[in-house]
Amino acid sequence: MTINNDTPMSLAHLEALTADQDALKAALAVADTAPLLMVLIQLGGDPAWLDRMAPYITGPWSYHDETPEDVKLELQSAVVDALVACVRDSRLPEPLPPKDLLPKMMDVCTGQKVPPEYMPVALEEMDLLDEDPRAVRWRTQPSAETLEHFNVLVVGAGFSGVAMGIRLKQAGIPYTIIEKNDSVGGTWYENTYPGIGVDTANHFYSYSFDVNHDWDHFFAKGDEILRYIRRNAEREEITANTRFREEVTQAQWDDAAGLWHVKTQTADGTVVDYTANVLVSAVGQLNRASMPAIDGLDDFKGPKFHTSNWDHSVSIEGKQVGMIGTGATGMQVGPAIAPVVGNLTIFQRSPHWAMWNPLYFKTVSENKKWVLKNIPYYSKWFRFQLFWSSSDGFHKMLQIDHDWPDKQRSLNAQNAEIRKQLEEYIAKEVNYDPELIRKSVPNYPPYGKRMLRDNHWYRMLTRDNVDLVDTQIDHIEENAVVMADGTRHEVDVLVLATGFKASKMLAPMDIRGRGDATIRGRWGDDDPRAYLGITAPEFPNMFFLYGPNTNLGHGGSAVFHSECQVGYIMQGIRELIESGSSVMEVREEPFWEYQEKVDHKHRNMVWSHPGVGSWYKNKNGRVTANSPWRLVDYRDMTASFDPSDYTFTKINSTDSKEASA
Ligand code: NAP
């Protein structure tokens, strides 16, 4: 059954869908119950279906569905009948279900209570409100001349930089992206280590404005994600506006002109100068490799490389491979290379917690892709389910209960319950091997470090050719890693899965703001701060994407957060242009109030737990990478730009300035 996938919401499409009702019913057999039920209600089906099905949908993931087969068949028939009725009555379903039904639909769809505060963000994520609800539209259209003389310089063409380019293009604002690599994609271009993939479900970990029905996996591998980013960049001509193989080295604010002067260096060393009204950093937090400070690392004679710079010319087949680091990256690399190498010795400084998801290795069948593409509103409700399942559900569990007795190992009753479940899971996966359990169960609370997605890591540990070493590394010799207890582990190849210099944000760029302010001067090596993670005083007309305190540690999707930030930045730029100003700068007061709120919130959250070290916090224990907010809070904070948080300044022709806000 093939249909024109580009026109899913027309009567012609519905007619084509229902031309062969038996085939349609058969096609619906692969549909998940909850989103299909929502389709039925949107098509005008009897709302009584919601109460009938609610007991069977026990959670937001498809594997929480306990609907009996005969009821599923009834539901599928009802959807076919509803589609036929639409065609018969020449009626297209309303994009927005009746307001009184919507909250109940959300509850039933997720098998949980969805508080009303989530309604706006849910409707945005589902793209149900109107076309492209996150687009920022002009209130007063600027003249072509105004726009012609304005330009934005974006640093980095990863997921965030491409989204920024797309929104700037939509608004007709000239922009240039500077990208040090020879492709868009950022993280997903640079990291090519074996096993690379995402551990947030892709039907949510993707742009809300480009819902992809064609994901081959529920949790895609790196190459598929890179193809998705490239597709967006090419379709929206972002690539044409990007200067590849050029790296920003310095940006200097010019207070008199209200402009940024930016220097880049091309691959052959040529220095290029740019001038921009607005500078947007989209370099992210996880871009500069952190090499471990271990004695003798340079003495190692065999091949050694960081995971973000995997050397594919080195054969690891049959080799003795050593891997230092067991974070999100190490956890993906290990199971991918263990079957190939001769022996894998894993050097673990501290274990991470990891959760299993039954969909992790599953591919999306062609039939399911067909349903996603062709059944009206199905993909939207599917995305909503994933949004809900991956967002704020765990946030409460990350808060410290000060009366909780077992503070070292858990934070509160819910956290302790998860701990118990995870401990049982680990024990089962390592075949109840007491030594592996001892090494693998963290002594800190779940979510203290990034919660990982188990990709058969624990099963891998039971392989004969894998050794997990959890004593401290003392030094490295030309062919061995030597532990503090004197044990030597000979290795041919050394893999450094040791993470990134997350706290030293924006390094190595030399960014000079107003007066003598520099980014390094203000942030030091590890104390980055920004209002909403996006703007900082003394750095006018500059915005950060995936900046300080915006990493998501409790759930959610980095793409969601990035879209919130892009939307906010677009509103800021709109304000700047529409107000006829040249300069905007966040005021000290809201900036510091925000820092206070962030730090206060963090003090009661798991990442500040004294027993845990992670890239989330700096050497003083201040959490600098993570957002303390629920997704709904951050969305609400960024959804409407408040000009009173900023000063706006006009620069007239004689170069004198006048404040306008
Ligand atoms: P990471 O989480 O910082 O892990 C680094 C690992 O190296 C840790 O196990 C750390 O031990 C260890 N380590 C660092 N220095 C060491 C030293 N001197 N001696 C011994 N061990 C040392 O880095 P990552 O695994 O690259 O992940 C970083 C972030 O990238 C993730 O949290 C995630 O946000 C992102 N990421 C995402 C995905 C995905 O979505 N699928 C995949 C990969 C990465 P300690 O824990 O004891 O410090």
Residue with tokens 């509850």: 107
Q: Which atom of ligand 1 is nearest to the CA of 498?
A: 7
Check pocket membership of 330 for ligand 1, CB cut-off 6 A. Answer: yes
For residue 218, the model assigns a pLDDT of 97
- Best mutation site among 224, 307, 329, 468 for ligand 1, i.e. most ligand atoms within 8 A of its Cβ? 329
In a domain, residue 486? The reply is: yes
CB-CB contact of 193 with 310 (8 Å):
yes
Same domain flag for 206 and 98: no
Q: How much is the mean pLDDT over the chain?
A: 95
Helices and strands counted in the chain (H then E): 21, 22
DSSP three-state, residue 46: coil
Check pocket membership of 331 for ligand 1, CB cut-off 6 A. Answer: no
Same domain flag for 170 and 193: yes
Residue with tokens 């939509």: 170
Which of 341, 369, 389 terminates a domain? The answer is: 389
Q: Whose CA is nearest to atom 24 of ligand 1?
A: 499
For residue 8, the model assigns a pLDDT of 62
Check pocket membership of 325 for ligand 1, CB cut-off 6 A. Answer: yes
Ligand 1: centre distance to CA 13 (Å): 48
Is 6's pLDDT higher than 70? no
Q: How many CB atoms lie within 10 A of CB 467?
A: 14
Same domain flag for 72 and 109: yes
Same domain flag for 307 and 454: yes
Check pocket membership of 349 for ligand 1, CB cut-off 6 A. Answer: yes
Tell me what the mean pLDDT of segment 533-547 comes to: 98
Structural domains of the chain, count: 3
**Mind spelling out the 3-state secondary structure of 90-159?**
CCCCCCCCCCCCHHHHHHHHHCCCCCHHHHHHHHHHHCCCCCCCCCCCCCCCCCHHHHHCCCEEEECCCH
Distance CA 494, CA 480 (A): 9
Check pocket membership of 442 for ligand 1, CB cut-off 6 A. Answer: no
Rounded to whole angstroms, what are the CA distances from 395 to 177, 414, 415, 474, 626?
35, 11, 10, 38, 13
Same domain flag for 320 and 347: yes
pLDDT digit string, tens, across residues 329-371: 999 999 999 999 999 999 999 999 999 999 999 999 999 999 9
Q: What is the CATH number of the domain that holds 479?
A: 3.50.50.60
Distance CA 157, CA 161 (A): 4
Same domain flag for 215 and 182: yes
CB-CB contact of 60 with 9 (8 Å):
no
Element (H, E) at 81: helix 69-88
Range of the domain at 486: 297-351+449-496
Q: Identify the weakest region by mean pLDDT among 1-5, 268-272, 276-280.
A: 1-5
pLDDT digit string, tens, across residues 92-124: 988 888 889 999 999 999 999 999 999 999 999
Same domain flag for 239 and 166: yes
Check pocket membership of 292 for ligand 1, CB cut-off 6 A. Answer: yes
Is 490's pLDDT higher than 80? yes
Which strands form 278-281's sheet, in the order they lie side by side?
242-243, 175-178, 152-155, 278-281, 542-544
Q: How many CB atoms lie within 10 A of CB 451?
A: 20
Distance CA 553, CA 570 (A): 25
CB-CB contact of 319 with 340 (8 Å):
no
Ligand 1: centre distance to CA 196 (Å): 13
Is 275's pLDDT higher than 80? yes
Same domain flag for 473 and 329: yes
In a domain, residue 604? The reply is: no
Same domain flag for 462 and 320: yes
Check pocket membership of 329 for ligand 1, CB cut-off 6 A. Answer: yes
Same domain flag for 482 and 346: yes
In a domain, residue 267? The reply is: yes
In a domain, residue 444? The reply is: no
Same domain flag for 198 and 273: yes
In a domain, residue 408? The reply is: no
Same domain flag for 487 and 584: no
